[in-house]
Structure 1
Amino acid sequence: MTTTPKRKLIEVALPLEAINRESIRENYIYKGNPSGIHKWWAQRPLASCRAVLFAQLVDDPGSQPEQFPTDEAVAAERQRLFRLIERLVVWENTTDESLLREAHEEILKSTDGNPPPILDPFAGGGSIPLEAQRLGLQAHASDLNPVPVLINKALIEIPPKWAGQPPVFPGAVEEKITENGQPLEGMWPKVTGLAEDVHRYGSWMRNEAEKRIGYLYPRAKLDDGTEANVIAWIWARTVQCPSPACGIQMPLVKSWWLGKKKGKESFIIPRVEDGVVVFEIGHDVKQAPKKDTDGTVGRGGAVCVGCGDTTTLTYVRAEGKAGRLGQQLMAIAAEGNRRRIYLPATEEHQKAAEVPRPNNVPDTEIPHNPRYLTTPNYGMTHHADLFTNRQLTTIATFSDLVREVRELIKVDALKAGLRTGVRLELGGDGAEAYADSVVTYLAFTLSKFIDYNCSLAVWYAKEDRPKNLFARQAIPFVWDFPEIAPLANMGGSWSGSLRVLCESLLGTPAVKPIGKVQQKNAADRDYSSRLVVSTDPPYYDNIGYADLSDFFYVWLRRSLGNVYSETLGVMLTPKSEELVADEFRHGGKKEAERFFEGGFEKVFESIRHGYTEDFPITIFYAFKQSESTDQGDASTGWETLLSGMIRSGWTVTGTWPMRTERAGRTRHISSNALASSIVLACRPRPENATMINRHSFLTALKEEMPQKLSELQQGAIAPVDLAQAAIGPGMAVFSRYTQVLEPDGKSMSVRTALTLINQILDEVLSEQEGDFDADTRFCVQWFKNFGWSEGSFGDADNLARGRNTSVEGVQRGGCFRAVAGKARLLPFLDLQVNWHPETNERISLWEVVLHLAKALDEEGGDTAARLMAAARTRVDMDVAQELAYLLFAICEKRGLTQEAILFNGLGQSWSDLTAASRKQAVSAPQPVQDGFTFDEE
């Protein structure tokens, strides 16, 4: 007799609001965040990973009737676990040893004192393995790409190996000795000793580099004869003007602005002297460049500052491919008295950068993929082309120093009493392995350094500072760029990069058991029956991890090739087996789709064989790509993932939207960008699972989806992500059956199921209109029909009568206007100023939601929370939240982008506003003059 596995907490209930709040907050915490160890793309917040792992292993009290026999007992126990999770996800508690022990004890209780190892076969940036280790679990990580393999080693293998180890740098320990000459007990807890060595040997490298290349970076001379340290040199790429009457080297500039801080405005003023462009620095805001005159390059081409002619980008690209793009120094950013100062370019500084290209730098070719690698369009076809010659000289110098300092560390480690031992790659724990460990982090410092020190960084005028290349998941060509002073003490310099790296290292838990990291293809690796899988797989074609990571890999290989000879043995990261739907790599869109789906099926089929039924697997997935067909909307990314999983014998048992991305994303709201990851909990489908027909499937969807969607909305899912989040509960229904049969007897495809799920979502949102007041129902239908455009009074009158209200009444509510036979809704700009819901004569949900969205956008959360507190005395705010989601969906379908952004922001912030509004003191409402209630006139 087989026993049914106990349901885990993640399959039943989660304190989603607390998890989401802390996940989004963590994205703005930099100091001490282990994610700063090395750049990786789309890393999951540690808070969400910690919560998911805990809930994946801990039993839901509802599956323990012998301990919790009543509904009240089950609810009380869930709340106790919720309170533990709510404390566990707070960033400041990641170092609370007693709390982490408490969480580990809960896991032990649900695993008979023998918790399973956790495996992430797509380990990437290492968030999941790191949090498994923080919870006291054996963490396993694997990845095909060597860069995440090294990242995971730096997170879960190396730190616990050296926990408690004092630094070996000469004099470091002695400086911490107490007055009586004795070291303090526990003076070097966790990785403080390792981090101290990384910092000290990194500082030695900086000083040594100054001796070798310091002459390449002159100081700036000021008008009063003094000198100032340079922060950055601002360069423009140039191309010869094709006009025969001109022919100057025209600068290609995106923006002339250098600094936009109020009262400290600075910008570049170009002029032509004797056929050469020279640059001055302006500060008078009356002369500042306006939007239509800022820079020389736009989508229409490049404008010559000499003759004013416009040159096509086709010409610029052709010149780049012919090797005829140049670069000219425009300005120098230097350290002033507590502010940036900007100086015009000088011949001395221009010539200081004119150094020959080093011979021993990576000259590997950049793959062809114009979706996110655009530099080859301009002739920058090799990785070395992404840097100036001076930058290459500096980076090669630091890379050489990584190799040199390793021998110095080994000697010092031997003097400090460590035995020689074998190398780190062979599992050593002596001086050889320690030296390998320290230089791993120094090579990672170089990775952080080159993210800023390349010719693809940008100058961020709004904050007077440089911005790194990887602000997004691409390597784009840029027109003008800052060349940072590498030996300065600022963000992006060697010292700044070293400081961030050491702070990130100190944020690792460094607890045993020591993690295990392998370079493995997820489809080919062994999945032990004891391993429990939690993973964050690639998102179809959204991110080209291998192509992007080559930017770092070629330098890591140069610096650490003798440390990780096996891992870094190939010239570039593996491409052909990478599980990404790259149509350029696989010969077309259909071929790429087949490769991706087949690969996922193989992975989850491998996991399925012999997988323990005691625990679900969990999968983070963040993909948005809807395609409209005659049958409705579907999603290729989701279809391929789910098809592979379902055919491999998995069924969805729980779905949760986790807010894992920053709210202020740079990409457009209609792009493939999500504010949330959808976490799927899945178990092997039972062998006795049955088939159903299409009608029964639709019936089940209609019965189960409304409650699930309400839970998603209450869990603060962003409206823009609701359609993607709804896939989870819909597929939970679909995947529990072996087949869903169409009327013709054929098996329903995942694409058809996704289309039907989207249709049910639309129906549920429309059915929620029944909860709205009459005025709101009128406004919603008018908005669907006309948007903000005018209609006739007759249309308005007919629509109002059908919804038990009147045009006059809706006008009195302050959200509609009918004049001279024409009628229209009032848009945001025309809404009443200083609106007060508690004294408003006639109020509707429509009016409340529009004013909340406007207040949040224009005045911020405090004002919106005050309005919500006041409105709560007049309307049902839970129903108002449903309206916000519906209005976003209408705006998205009508193409009203700006309005969609406002309603999405309101829906995503709803739980935070609700919490803040409950703390607000609200004055008693004034008597309503006409006795109006929602559904009467």
Structure 2
Amino acid sequence: MNTITDKIGAANAAAATALECDFPVVEISQIAEQESWRKEINRPIYHIHKWWATRLGSVFRCITIGALTKPGANTWAQFYETHDLAGMVVLDPFMGSGTTLGEAVKLGAKAVGSDINPVSTFLVRQAFTPASEDQLRAVFERLERDVAPEIRRYYQTRDPQSGELIPVLYYFWVKTVMTPQGESIPLLSRYVFSQDAYPKKKPKAQIVCPGCWGIMEERYDTTAADCPQCGHHFNPQIGPVVGQYLTDRSGNRYRVKDLLPKDGSPPHHRLYAMMALRPDDSKVYLAARNEDVALYKEAQERLATEVLPLPESSVRPGHNTNQARGYNYTQWRDFFNSRQLLCLGILLREILHIENTDIQEQMLCLFSSTLEFNNLFCSFKGEGTGAVRHMFSNHILKPERTPLENSVWGTNRSSGTFSTLFESRLLRAKRYLDEPFEIAFEYDQAGQRIGSRKIVASQPIRARRMETWGELEKADHGMMILNGDSSKLPIPDSSVDAVVTDPPYFDFVHYSELSDFFFAWLSPALRDRYPWFARENSSDQGEVQHKDPRAFARQLASVFTEACRVLKDEGVLAFSFHHSRAEGWAAIYEAITKAGLAVVAAHPVHAELRAASPKTAAKDPISLDAILVCRKRAFAQSNLPVAENVVGAVEMMTVRLQAAGLRISVSDRFVIGAAQTLIARAIDDLSFDEIKEYLEAVRLAVGPKSESLPEIELSVPKTHAFVNQLNLFDF
């Protein structure tokens, strides 16, 4: 294969690192796209627990190699080599799931990670804690012996064929509301509750009868059904709910939210079906019967008498939580039904009795991970795919009208349960620590890609966790995992070789609002052990998150200023970023400028595959990240490339990426163009409004070909060198 490398420019006297001069855009984008399909398998240490916007390890490995090697080095040629960058230090002030830390220590460098969110700090500590599979399995087997039977008894039903008790994989529930006339209405938009992910190939579906609540098997698209139990004739495609409104049997129309309980409690639910597992491993759908409802009530009654470590904190108002609060979900325990609270509480209580603190915390992390798939905000994805749609498939906490109740402990055929996540998340992550690998493509003699394989290109991850800079400074290898405000780091001036990070976006996911879901369970267990868990919720005054771009820029600038302080003069600060709006890029420009930095290079690469909103909801989704490479301003001026033709650069890069098989949208073109604009204006010290106007012009110029280039009048102070707009936007 002939490699295609994006040469940003020949190495020159001003460049201090390979990252400023060279980046294998095409090769890394291809590898990153492959990684993004199964991130939890290809980089399991960063997916030991839920975190948001996790970045692709292959991209950050390449960034880190480039940031720690001299100009002229071929970064792609070094990608699959084993490195020992002993003594070099990489900082990530927005640690998240720990991607930068993992990739740095795999290269033999020292790593410092900091995050203001206690859940991030906890999960990263667990990801890099060494624990033998034998140790973990021994404790797991003890839990399986002592508490699994107690939990499993609440997830079983009687097989009508054999009369024997069989395990239930999933319970199907539906929210109900009461009309003023006293009619209970299920919030069903259709009566088909289970179908295949590819229904045209496998049209068989499960349908619930609105007359007797029996279930039947029919085609997924049938519009006429007769219930075999009660004879009721109905259209399975038409339920009582359409959008935000429902219609009762008399034809009266109501807004769903107007019928929520007046006492402020969450909506009621009705259990109507189950998927159970027979001894021959076949799955069977069953209607909920009286004894199934009685089993749930038994769990409900026991919950009222048990003393369990359950969440007690409230759901605070916020962008990502207001929709849940609008449905009266005001306490985190409201996100679970009584059986879930009972079984999760029993499991957590037993985990907290584990004497070995390291192993206890590994199991606590696994428990917290299990919560994501065991709550009332989960839903059924269908047959032929992972059954459970976890609660964070939307970035807002959207109340699920037809919740799927998973079985907490699970079976060998379950998805998202404590026992299955033990194998698929925890043990897989620990094996990766022992044998960290990269993905490599395989090609035939004609140069056509025929598959991929794993290459071990790192020593086992054994970086010792250190608590102080003094300890880390004396060691050749190691890592510090900090919790706190990254604008106030306990690190000396000019002590870090590179800063590699992924800052939050000003108008996207508010991490702490969502991480409160986990914090509510973890804090009572860990608050006496770690001071950063001894607070009301996972937010902090110093967190960088704001819907106003100017306020966000100020917050981000404070962290970048601190990063600039600890960064060596010859070091780079590199981070990934994309945004579809000019103000997002203007905020980044302002933060960089106020921190005393300047963008010296930008590399477009394939971004994380985002299967969730807001990406899939966008008409023109973004699939590229821009890797923005910054230097301290005093050392950057002579190295700045001149972007006389931003649109030309966008066209050239678009053609190159498309030739490599990547799909490039209009929004992706703007990502490329905006990044080039930040380079062109890096030392101009423009105001927020001035750079935003430039960026708006770029957005229009690189938009659909049907758009004509607008008349652009830019008000730029005469003190700024102004590049003629005909040059800047010349096709």
Question: Structure 1 runs of 4+ off > 6 angstroms?
Answer: 288-292
Aligned to 2:410: 488
Aligned to 2:326: 377
Q: Matches of 1:561 and 1:664 in 2, distance apart?
A: 34
* RMSD over equivalenced CA pairs, Å: 3.0
**Distance change in 2, residues 1:291/1:708 (3 Å):** farther
**Counterpart amino acid of residue 516 in structure 2:** D
**Counterpart amino acid of residue 482 in structure 2:** Q
Aligned to 1:129: 101
Deviations 1:127-169 (A, max 9, x none): 111110111110111111111111221233x22xxxxxxxxxx
Q: Matches of 2:235 and 2:479 in 1, distance apart?
A: 53
Q: Matches of 1:40 and 1:328 in 2, distance apart?
A: 31
Residue from 142, 157, 164 that aligns with 2:114: 142
CA contact (8 A) 1:219 1:228 kept: yes
Aligned to 1:729: 676
**Shift of residue 619 of structure 1?**
1.2
- TM-score scaled to structure 1, two decimals? 0.62
**Shift of residue 280 of structure 1?**
2.6
Aligned to 1:599: 555
Aligned to 2:488: 524
Q: Is 1:215 the counterpart of 2:215 in the alignment?
A: no
Deviates more, 1:607-616 or 1:18-27: 607-616
Show the 5 A alignment for 1:559-574: 559-562=525-528, 564-574=529-539
CA contact (8 A) 1:130 1:155 kept: no
Show the 5 A alignment for 1:237-636: 237-242=175-180, 244=181, 247-261=182-196, 262-263=201-202, 265-272=204-211, 278-283=213-218, 286=222, 293-304=237-248, 306-316=249-259, 318-319=260-261, 322-323=264-265, 325-336=267-278, 337=280, 339-354=282-297, 355-356=300-301, 357-358=303-304, 360=308, 361-404=310-353, 406-407=354-355, 435-463=356-384, 465-489=387-411, 490-500=414-424, 501-508=426-433, 509-512=460-463, 513-528=477-492, 529-531=494-496, 532-562=498-528, 564-582=529-547, 592-609=548-565, 611-624=567-580, 626=581, 635-636=582-583
**Shift of residue 255 of structure 1?**
4.5
Aligned to 2:724: none
CA contact (8 A) 1:141 1:152 kept: no
Residue from 587, 593, 598 that aligns with 1:651: 598
Aligned to 2:41: 31
Identity of aligned residues (%): 17
CA contact (8 A) 1:233 1:333 kept: yes
Aligned to 1:755: 693
SS at the partner of 1:492? coil
**Shift of residue 126 of structure 1?**
0.6
**Shift of residue 495 of structure 1?**
0.7
**Counterpart amino acid of residue 538 in structure 2:** T
**Distance change in 2, residues 1:461/1:709 (3 Å):** same
SS at the partner of 1:443? helix
Residue from 630, 634, 642 that aligns with 1:682: 630
Q: Matches of 2:654 and 2:572 in 1, distance apart?
A: 21
**Distance change in 2, residues 1:576/1:281 (3 Å):** farther
CA contact (8 A) 2:321 2:397 kept: yes
**Counterpart amino acid of residue 569 in structure 1:** A
SS at the partner of 1:577? coil
Deviates more, 1:19-28 or 1:552-561: 552-561
Structure 1: runs of 5+ lacking an equivalent:
62-76, 89-98, 109-113, 160-190, 408-434, 583-591, 627-634, 691-696, 740-747, 767-779, 786-885, 887-937
Q: Is 1:718 the counterpart of 2:701 in the alignment?
A: no
Q: Is 1:83 the counterpart of 2:77 in the alignment?
A: yes
Q: Matches of 1:370 and 1:610 in 2, distance apart?
A: 34
**Counterpart amino acid of residue 303 in structure 1:** T
Q: Matches of 1:723 and 1:652 in 2, distance apart?
A: 17
Aligned to 2:127: 155
Q: Matches of 2:636 and 2:174 in 1, distance apart?
A: 67
SS at the partner of 1:612? strand
Q: Matches of 2:60 and 2:255 in 1, distance apart?
A: 48
SS at the partner of 2:174? strand
CA contact (8 A) 1:321 1:377 kept: no
**Distance change in 2, residues 1:709/1:646 (3 Å):** farther
Aligned to 1:428: none
**Shift of residue 225 of structure 1?**
3.0
CA contact (8 A) 1:282 1:288 kept: no
**Shift of residue 539 of structure 1?**
0.8
**Counterpart amino acid of residue 569 in structure 2:** E
Q: Matches of 1:671 and 1:581 in 2, distance apart?
A: 24
CA contact (8 A) 2:650 2:672 kept: no
CA contact (8 A) 1:8 1:57 kept: yes
**Counterpart amino acid of residue 676 in structure 1:** L
**Counterpart amino acid of residue 658 in structure 1:** V
**Counterpart amino acid of residue 536 in structure 1:** D
CA contact (8 A) 1:652 1:735 kept: yes
CA contact (8 A) 2:54 2:608 kept: no
**Shift of residue 517 of structure 1?**
0.6
CA contact (8 A) 2:245 2:256 kept: yes
Show the 5 A alignment for 1:865-904: none
Q: Matches of 2:565 and 2:409 in 1, distance apart?
A: 54
Aligned to 2:58: 47
The structure whose Rg is larger is 1
Residue from 74, 89, 92 that aligns with 1:120: 92
**Distance change in 2, residues 1:121/1:687 (3 Å):** closer
Q: Matches of 1:607 and 1:298 in 2, distance apart?
A: 51
Q: Matches of 2:610 and 2:531 in 1, distance apart?
A: 40
Structure 2: runs of 5+ lacking an equivalent:
1-11, 226-233, 434-459, 464-476, 709-728
**Distance change in 2, residues 1:765/1:573 (3 Å):** closer
Q: Matches of 1:757 and 1:650 in 2, distance apart?
A: 19
**Distance change in 2, residues 1:451/1:442 (3 Å):** same
CA contact (8 A) 2:647 2:701 kept: no
**Distance change in 2, residues 1:619/1:577 (3 Å):** same
Q: Matches of 2:569 and 2:101 in 1, distance apart?
A: 21
**Distance change in 2, residues 1:374/1:449 (3 Å):** same
**Distance change in 2, residues 1:484/1:264 (3 Å):** farther
**Distance change in 2, residues 1:370/1:708 (3 Å):** closer
Q: Matches of 2:693 and 2:13 in 1, distance apart?
A: 33
CA contact (8 A) 1:37 1:505 kept: no
Q: Matches of 2:312 and 2:500 in 1, distance apart?
A: 37
**Shift of residue 260 of structure 1?**
2.0
Deviations 1:697-748 (A, max 9, x none): 9x954346523651354134722321022111111111134x4xxxxxxxx4
Deviations 1:589-648 (A, max 9, x none): xxx444322222222222223631222111112333x2xxxxxxxx22221221021122
Q: Is 1:57 the counterpart of 2:68 in the alignment?
A: yes
Q: Matches of 2:319 and 2:177 in 1, distance apart?
A: 22
Q: Matches of 1:142 and 1:384 in 2, distance apart?
A: 29
**Shift of residue 58 of structure 1?**
1.2
**Shift of residue 480 of structure 1?**
0.9
Q: Matches of 1:671 and 1:578 in 2, distance apart?
A: 30
**Shift of residue 302 of structure 1?**
2.1
- TM-score scaled to structure 2, two decimals? 0.79
**Distance change in 2, residues 1:658/1:44 (3 Å):** same
